[in-house]
Each structure stands twice: as structure tokens, then as C-alpha cells.
Amino acid sequence: MGGVNSFSQMEGAIEEGFEAVQMARLLIREPDFVNRIVATLRLQEETTPQNSSDSAQDVVSKCIRCNMCVIATVDPHMSIGCPFRRGPVLSAEMMREKILSEGGEDSVSRDIRDIEDLVVEVAH
């Protein structure tokens, strides 16, 4: 199954019987996405009591599926990759520290809104 954009979508696809999920665009935009999932799960294990009924927080990709990475594969004037990707790829432990310092996964939602605003500005 392709086009997954979050950890919960990945889990849902596997639970529905899909043998694998495709994450090409997601990983082009965010090569450390799997490390972010691992860091978030570890952080939740550390901070959530075992008998808690709180549901796990989902991990959502920063990819907005604009397809610029796909277009770059056929346009000789474009660099291959995501035009919105910034910064180095982080290990799971470094990602955990980043999540803690930025105030949790809500910072990802802010990043997505910022990127969407940038796309709208570029389009106009």
C-alpha cells in the first residue's frame, strides 16, 4: 500500500492485511521519519503509566505530497529531493531529544502548517 503519511496509517494497513507499505515520498522529505517514530514511542513508554488508558500519540510525516520530488526525477533543471527538507538526518536518540526540546509532536503540526503556507506563497 502506498501513500501512507503517519505511523497509525502504517499500523492500520498492516492490520488490514497489507504485507508492506510504501513510503518513498515520505522518506525523501524526512529520511529520519522511522527514527522519529522510535523516539516518540520510547518517550511515550517513559512518560505514560502502564495502566493508563491514554492513546498513543500518532507520528505524522512532514511530507505534504506536493510531488516536487517526483517531478525532479524527470526535470533535468531540478535537484532530486524535497525542496522543503532542511537539516541533518537524526538518530532515534537525537530525535527524542529534539522532540523533548521542541515541545512534543505538536511542533511537527506547526512545521506542516509553515510548509503549507510556503507552498501557497510560491504558487501565487
Per-residue pLDDT tens digits for 39-69: 888 888 888 777 665 556 789 998 988 888 8
Instruction: Tell me if 36 is assigned to some domain.
Output: yes
In a domain, 47, yes or no: yes
Give me the chain's average pLDDT, please. 78
**What pLDDT score does 18 carry?**
94
Is the pLDDT at 72 greater than 90? The verdict is: no
Cβ atoms 40, 57 nearer than 8 A: yes
Q: Quick check: is 2 in a domain? A: no
Q: Give the range of the structural domain holding residue 65, as residue numbers without chain letter.
A: 7-123
Which residue, among 7, 1, 3, has the nearest Cα to 108 in the 3D structure?
7
Number of domains in the chain: 1
Asked whether residue 40 is assigned to any structural domain, the reply reads yes
Whether 117 maps to a domain, the answer reads yes
**Residue 71 domain flag:** yes
Residue bearing the bigger pLDDT, 89 or 70: 70
The pLDDT-based confidence of 124 (bands split at 50, 70, 90) is: very low
What is the rounded distance in angstroms from the CA atom of residue 101 to the CA atom of residue 75? 39
Assess if residue 1 is contained within a domain: no
Inter-residue contact 56 to 50 (CB < 8 Å) = no
How large is the average pLDDT for residues 86-106?
70
Structure letter (DSSP) for residue 3: -
pLDDT value of residue 54: 57
